[in-house]
C-alpha cells in the first residue's frame, strides 16, 4: 500500500504546489518596472541665433514671458495686461504657436484683460515630450500652468484645435473655467471624411516616424536654409516650415495630435452637462477650408439646451481669423465676456 500510495501523494502535492509556483513566477515577471522617464525634445530656444525663427518669433515676442517646468516638459508662457484684469486664456491650434494671437492678445490687454498665452507641447518654445499627444496631455498642461501662475479660474478662448482643447478642458476641469467660453474656427468634431488626403497621410504612425527621422530632418533643414531670403515670406507658413525642419519633436506632435488629439472625437466634451451653466460663443468663417463652416452649427447642436450659445459668422472669412480679422475677434471676445 505504501509503494502504491507514494506516487499518488507526489502527484497530489505537485497539483497543489504547481499552480502556486506558476502564479508566483507570473507575478514576479509581470510586476511593473518603474515608469520610464519621458524623453523631451527641445523647443525653438535650442536653435542657433542664425536661425530665421528668432526673427519671426523671438523668445520675447510678447511681454511677460517665462518658463514653467512640468513632468512632461517645460512650457513657455506669457502674461499681459493689468494684474487685476479679468483673466483670459488664449489657446492656439495645431501647428502655429502663440504668435497666432499677435494682434488679438495686445488688443485684449489694452482693454484691461489679464491675458495668458502659451505654446502647446511640441510647438514654439515649449518642450516636445516623446509621448501620445491626446487631450489628456493638453488639458493637464493647461491645468498645471494655471496652478503655476495661481489662477483659480479664467475665460477660455481657443482657435482651431484650441477650440476642441477648450471644450475638453471645460468638461474635465469645470471649476477652473468661468461661465463663458469662446471658440474660433473650432475643431473638435472634425470627421475623417472632411480631412484632406495630406492630413490623413501626415497622421499615419509610419509617416510620423519618417518625418521625425534625422535624415528627413536634415533634408528639411537644407530646404528651409537654402530658401531665398529676399522673397516675400508669410510668417505663419514660415514658422511652420522652420518648426518642421528644426524641432525634432514637432512633426511627431502634429501627427499624433491629428490621430489622438482634440482635433476630433470631442463630442462628449461639447455635450457635457457642464455647459448647462455656461455661455459659448462660436466664431467661424464661411470660407474656412480647414474646418468647414458647417462645424459651427454642429458644435451648437452638440451643446446641451441649457447652454446659451451664439454663432458669429464671418462672411468670406478663412481659417486664420485671428490674423485676418483681429479687431472683429477682439471685439466679439470683449462683448461676450462683458455680456450679462
Residue 2 confidence class, pLDDT cut points 50, 70, 90? very low
Q: Which three cell numbers stand for residue 228?
A: 531665398
* Burial track 96-117 (b if 16+ CB lie within 10 A, e otherwise): bbbbbbbebbbbbbebebbbbb
pLDDT at residue 196 in the model: 82
Amino acid 1: pLDDT: 41
What percent of the chain stands above pLDDT 70? 84
Q: How many residues does the chain have?
A: 340
User: What is residue 28's predicted lDDT score, i.e. its pLDDT?
Assistant: 58
**Helix H segments across the chain?**
2-30, 53-56, 104-110, 135-148, 161-172, 197-202, 205-211, 214-225, 235-246, 250-260, 267-270, 294-302, 321-324, 326-338
For residue 233, what pLDDT is reported? 79
The CA distance from 112 to 338, in Å, is: 12
Give the pLDDT score at 27: 59
Buried b (16+ CB within 10 A) or exposed e, 286-320: eebebbbbebbebbeebbeeebbbeebebeebbbb
Choose among 213, 244, 230: nearest CA to 124: 244
Does the pLDDT at position 12 exceed 90? no
Residue that wins the pLDDT comparison between 8 and 183: 183
pLDDT tens across 57-97, in order? 999 999 999 999 999 999 999 999 999 999 999 999 999 99
More confident residue, 25 or 288: 288
Q: Is the per-residue pLDDT at 293 higher than 60?
A: yes
pLDDT for the residue numbered 45: 97
Amino acid at each position: 500500500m505504501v509503494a502504491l500510495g507514494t506516487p499518488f501523494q507526489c502527484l497530489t502535492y505537485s497539483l497543489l504546489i504547481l499552480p502556486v509556483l506558476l502564479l508566483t513566477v507570473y507575478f514576479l515577471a509581470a510586476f511593473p518596472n518603474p515608469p520610464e522617464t519621458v524623453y523631451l525634445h527641445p523647443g525653438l530656444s535650442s536653435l542657433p541665433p542664425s536661425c530665421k525663427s528668432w526673427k519671426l518669433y523671438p523668445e520675447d515676442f510678447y511681454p511677460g514671458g517665462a518658463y514653467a517646468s512640468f513632468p512632461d516638459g517645460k512650457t513657455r508662457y506669457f502674461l499681459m495686461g493689468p494684474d487685476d484684469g479679468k483673466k483670459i486664456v488664449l489657446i492656439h491650434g495645431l501647428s502655429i504657436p502663440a504668435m497666432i494671437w499677435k494682434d488679438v492678445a495686445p488688443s485684449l490687454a489694452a482693454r484691461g484683460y489679464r491675458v495668458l498665452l502659451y505654446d502647446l507641447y511640441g510647438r514654439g518654445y515649449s518642450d516636445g515630450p516623446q509621448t501620445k499627444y491626446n487631450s489628456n496631455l493638453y488639458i493637464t498642461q493647461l491645468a498645471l500652468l494655471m496652478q503655476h501662475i495661481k489662477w483659480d479660474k479664467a475665460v477660455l478662448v481657443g482657435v482651431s484645435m484650441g477650440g476642441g482643447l477648450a471644450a475638453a478642458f471645460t468638461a474635465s476641469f469645470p471649476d477652473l473655467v468661468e461661465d463663458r467660453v469662446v471658440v474660433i474656427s473650432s475643431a473638435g468634431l472634425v470627421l475623417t471624411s472632411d480631412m484632406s488626403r495630406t492630413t490623413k497621410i501626415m497622421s499615419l504612425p509610419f509617416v510620423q516616424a519618417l518625418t521625425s527621422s534625422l535624415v528627413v530632418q536634415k533634408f528639411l533643414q537644407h530646404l528651409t536654409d537654402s530658401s531665398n531670403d529676399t522673397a516675400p515670406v508669410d510668417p505663419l507658413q514660415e514658422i511652420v516650415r522652420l518648426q518642421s525642419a528644426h524641432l525634432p519633436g514637432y512633426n511627431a506632435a502634429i501627427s499624433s495630435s491629428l490621430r489622438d488629439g482634440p482635433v476630433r472625437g470631442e463630442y462628449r466634451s461639447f455635450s457635457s452637462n457642464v455647459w448647462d451653466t455656461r455661455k459659448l460663443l462660436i466664431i467661424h468663417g464661411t470660407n474656412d477650408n480647414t474646418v468647414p463652416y458647417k462645424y459651427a452649427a454642429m458644435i451648437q447642436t452638440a451643446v446641451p439646451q441649457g447652454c446659451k450659445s451664439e454663432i458669429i459668422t464671418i462672411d468670406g472669412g478663412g481659417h486664420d481669423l485671428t490674423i485676418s480679422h483681429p479687431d472683429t475677434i477682439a471685439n466679439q471676445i470683449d462683448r461676450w465676456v462683458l455680456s450679462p
